[in-house]
Amino acid sequence: MVNRFMKLSVLPLIMAFAMLGFSPTTKAERNSGSIFISNIVGEQAYVPYEFEVNMNPEEDVPFLGKSFFGFAEDLGFSESSGNYKAVNRLGYMGKYQFGRSALEWVGVKSKYTFLNSPDLQEEAFSTLISLNKFVLQDYITEYVGQYIAGIQITESGLIAAAHLGGAGNVMKFLDSEGENIFADANNVPITKYMKRFGGYDLTSIVPDANARVTL
């Protein structure tokens, strides 16, 4: 009788334990166990940073709009995919592909230092814009808003074209009403940069004939 009573009293406990063991868990409970942190089957999922979520779908660079920073990132991506260490077959260097004459103009004395300093490259870029804006300031005042060779002329478009082919060749293009179109060693015409980089706001960079890097 005692053994039978013990068996009957234990049976409900076994059934209750079994029910608990196979009861469905909530989503929160499933995700709270350490197995979902340490014992992962396969590769871990990559969680993007916020700036990567807002990528420019056309250029695969952070979308910064038409600000100066947007101009710098888009032009830098076009020149070197944003690579500060890039050196092309013609010796142009860095994120913005500076040549020897441009480096001298902005006051950079060491190519080695330039290639190894992103901060110096960024300052050199803004310095070059300041110098080009000074050289082209009369042309910017006269031509911005006009259409030449089917291209709407903007300040940023002219500055980008000057970065590619020099301010002198931008002047020749405007003076010739679009007849004289310079192309660089890779056969890229300055008109391509006028179109691609038109409409950015570069008002934060002032024209200065004496602009030089300070780093």
Q: Residues for the chain: how many in total?
A: 215
pLDDT mean over 93-121: 97
Position 76 pLDDT exceeds 90: yes
Residue 58 makes CB contacts below 8 A (sequence gap 6+) with none
Nearest to 162 by CA among 187, 186, 197: 197
- Supply the mean pLDDT for the chain: 81
Helices (H), ranges, the chain: 2-21, 27-32, 50-53, 68-80, 100-106, 111-115, 118-143, 155-165, 167-175, 190-196
pLDDT mean over 51-68: 58
Position 203 pLDDT exceeds 80: yes
pLDDT digits (tens, 9 = 90+) for 27-37: 333 333 322 23
Q: In the chain, what are the domains?
A: 64-196 (1.10.530.10)
Most confident range, picked from 9-23, 31-45, 71-85: 71-85
Q: Read off the tokens for 170.
A: 């931008």
Please return the burial class of 201, using the count of CB atoms within 10 Å of its CB with bins 0-12, 13-18 and 19+. middle
pLDDT of residue 53: 39
CB 146 within 8 A of CB 96: no
pLDDT digits (tens, 9 = 90+) for 144-180: 999 999 999 999 999 999 999 999 999 999 999 999 9
